[in-house]
Amino acid sequence: AQSVAQPEDQVNVAEGNPLTVKCTYSVSGNPYLFWYVQYPNRGLQFLLKYITGDNLVKGSYGFEAEFNKSQTSFHLKKPSALVSDSALYFCAVDRAGATNKLIFGTGTLLAVQP
């Protein structure tokens, strides 16, 4: 069965430090992978996606993610965290490629301290 795991419920980082939010997946065939962000009392916003090609994907607000097929991971990264990055982050995978049946992880709360 297809699944997405976000092993950390919360990640704490100081402003200015690099951040990583982890995601691993299990899906048959080639995965389509996504990161979304949710600010308090808001809907989810698309950050970035991996479909094919370069393993390092760049997205909105300075975020990037690295696709690692051998480790079945798609970790979200940013070189220098901002307090305004504090939010709930979701990793998602498409089950069978471009079907829009996204499977979401349980979310990781990112807290950036000033």
Partner 1 sequence: NAGVTQTPKFQVLKTGQSMTLQCAQDMNHEYMSWYRQDPGMGLRLIHYSVGAGITDQGEVPNGYNVSRSTTEDFPLRLLSAAPSQTSVYFCASSSRDRGFSEQFFGPGTRLTVL
Which stretch, 19-27, 62-70, 76-84, 93-101, contacts partner 1 (CB under 8 A)? 93-101
Cα separation, 109 vs 19, in Å, equals 12
Positive or negative torsion for Cα 66, 69, 71, 74: positive
Task: Pick the closer one to partner 1 by CB: 4 or 76.
Answer: 4
Cα separation, 32 vs 49, in Å, equals 7
Binder among 20, 30, 45, 60 for partner 1 (CB under 8 A): 45
Binder among 15, 22, 49, 77 for partner 1 (CB under 8 A): 49
Cα separation, 106 vs 19, in Å, equals 19
Contacts with partner 1, residue ranges (CB under 8 A): 4, 32, 34, 36, 41-46, 49, 51, 90, 92, 94, 98-102, 104-107
